[in-house]
Structures are given as C-alpha cells and as structure tokens.
Amino acid sequence: MSRSDKASPGVGTPAAAGAKPQGAPGFLRRHRLKFVLAALVVIPLLLFALYTAATLALTYSRGDRVGYLQKLSKKGWICPTWEGELAMATMPGLVPEIFSFSIRDNAVAAKVNELQGRRVALEYAEKKGVPSKCFGESEYFVTGVRLVPAP
C-alpha cells in the first residue's frame, strides 16, 4: 500500500471539518432548563416589584380632609400600618361621612395619635392600584396633620 492510499489522520473526521468534538455539551445546553425555570420565576417577581414601586411612588391626587379624628390603630402582622378614620361633618346634627386612611410613617402616626378626638386637617396622597393590603388598607395615605380650631 502506498502512502497516498492511506488516509491521513483527521481527514474526513468531524474535528477536521470544523465541528465540535463529541464530548460533554456546552454549559448553556446543560443548564438550559435551569435558566428557563429561573427566568419564569425571576421575571414576574421583578415586574411585580417594579409595578409596586411605581404605584407607591406616583400620586394620583393630593389634598386635605378636615374633621374629627375618630380612630387610629396599628394593624398587620407582616408589614403593620396605622389605620384610622376621620369623621367629617358638614353641619352639626348631620350624619358624618367617614374618611378611612392609612399611615405608613410612625412619626406622622404619633402626631395624629396626639390629636385624636380633636378637629384636624389631614394632608393625604391618594395612591391608585397598590397591589397589596400590606402597604395599607386604604388608598389614602396620610403624610401630615395639623390642628384646626373649632368653628
């Protein structure tokens, strides 16, 4: 047999043709299922966190409500908030309208608690679409309070 009849090593083999050698698959191929499952969990959680942050950062409306502080209590096990009610009466003798509110700041809650039973003006910010009661049971978040003299 002549030298030209013998096949030279590597000719006609996959390694010589530029293909990957047969061995362990690449890192991404081995862990593709883990990446897909992680993406299916992480992406919705990230979107939920971004939506929650946006609803808490953006304010739909701001204003003041004047009335008599009727109730204030701290509620919740995991993320407690202060929940309260303000009785707003337009004229003496009429049934008051109840304004329910939430307070997330303990300093504001302490100030509101000092003025309980008195006529006050609550400064609030309305937050629409907050996805959980964990941030407050009401969509009205009190940001400040001031004493109003009785009429």
Q: Tell me the CATH number at 99.
A: 2.40.50.140
Q: How many domains does the chain have?
A: 2
Q: Which residue did the predictor score with more confidence, 8 or 150?
A: 150
Tell me if 21 is assigned to some domain: no
Query: In the chain, pLDDT over 90 holds for what percent of residues?
Result: 33
Q: Which residue did the predictor score with more confidence, 132 or 86?
A: 86
Dihedral of CA 54/55/61/67: which sign? negative
pLDDT in tens, 16-68: 555 555 655 777 777 888 888 888 888 899 999 898 888 888 889 999 999 99
pLDDT in tens, 93-123: 788 899 999 998 999 999 999 998 888 999 9
Q: Which residue did the predictor score with more confidence, 33 or 151?
A: 33
User: Quick one: pLDDT at residue 106?
Assistant: 92
Tokens of 63: 């204003």
State whether 70 and 108 are in the same domain: yes
State whether 71 and 42 are in the same domain: no
What does pLDDT average to over the chain?
82
Provide the domain limits for residue 127.
61-147
Whole-number Cα distances in Å, 16 to 10, 19, 98 = 5, 7, 83
Tell me if 15 is assigned to some domain: no
Rg (CA), the chain: 33
Separation of alpha carbons 131 and 127, rounded Å: 10
State whether 65 and 53 are in the same domain: no
Separation of alpha carbons 103 and 76, rounded Å: 12
5 has a pLDDT exceeding 80: no
User: Quick one: pLDDT at residue 23?
Assistant: 56
State whether 138 and 124 are in the same domain: yes
State whether 117 and 48 are in the same domain: no
Whole-number Cα distances in Å, 51 to 60, 66, 70, 139 = 15, 32, 33, 16
